[in-house]
């Protein structure tokens, strides 16, 4: 009887642990602007968008990376320090740098229920400035919409989250 009780407890603990680390797929849509900067030395900015698990940045997913040559990738300071220098497999999410304009990125991300995440957007321009914006993203009250104020190198940002179909 005791053994059965113990088994029941173990089983329920197992179920609990599974349900608390359930992996969920969410659709994240990030729309933002690369501002039109009027300078003779204008170079298109490098841009990185990624999600880090709070207090565990080794768990991360890059959603977009726009760059032109590896030499200056390190200038995306946080992205390089947390992500880039450990994961060189970036072909599937990377692309060329883009001119000023409005952009929207839509990606499906897989996240664990109950964990906290932070979305980072970093933009850096040769002869220009660096902007790092971040937003905590909660996956408990979706669908949700978050707005971020513009920085020098990246315009106002809207982040939309909904459950993946």
Shortest Cβ 98–another protein spacing (Å): 13
Distance between CA atoms of residues 10 and 36, nearest Å? 60
Report the residue number, 42 or 103, with the smaller CB distance to another protein: 42
Interface with another protein in residues 15-74 (CB under 8 A) = 39-43, 69
Nearest to 155 by CA among 123, 120, 119: 123
Among 119, 130, 137, 157, binds another protein (CB under 8 A): 130
Chain mean position to CA 111: 11
Q: Is 156 in the site for another protein (CB under 8 A)?
A: no
Shortest Cβ 41–another protein spacing (Å): 6
Q: Is 132 in the site for another protein (CB under 8 A)?
A: yes
Report the residue number, 24 or 150, with the smaller CB distance to another protein: 150
Report the residue number, 44 or 116, with the smaller CB distance to another protein: 44
Report the residue number, 82 or 130, with the smaller CB distance to another protein: 130
Among 126, 138, 145, 162, binds another protein (CB under 8 A): 126
Report the residue number, 19 or 152, with the smaller CB distance to another protein: 152
By the criterion CB under 8 A, which residues form the site for another protein?
Answer: 39-43, 69, 126-132, 152
């Amino acid at each position: 009887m005791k053994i059965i009780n113990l088994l029941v407890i173990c089983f329920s603990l197992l179920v609990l642990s599974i349900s608390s680390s359930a992996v969920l797929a969410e659709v994240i849509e990030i729309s933002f602007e690369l501002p039109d900067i009027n300078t003779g030395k204008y170079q298109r900015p490098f841009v990185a968008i990624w999600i880090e698990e709070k207090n565990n940045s080794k768990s991360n997913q890059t959603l977009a990376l726009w760059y032109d040559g590896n030499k200056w990738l390190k200038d995306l300071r946080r992205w390089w320090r947390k992500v880039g220098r450990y994961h060189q497999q970036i072909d599937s999410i990377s692309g060329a740098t883009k001119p000023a304009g409005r952009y929207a990125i839509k990606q499906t991300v897989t996240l664990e229920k109950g964990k906290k995440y932070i979305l980072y957007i970093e933009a850096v321009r040769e002869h220009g400035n660096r902007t790092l914006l971040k937003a905590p993203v909660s996956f408990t009250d979706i669908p949700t919409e978050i707005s971020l104020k513009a920085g020098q190198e990246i315009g106002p940002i809207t982040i939309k989250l909904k459950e993946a179909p």
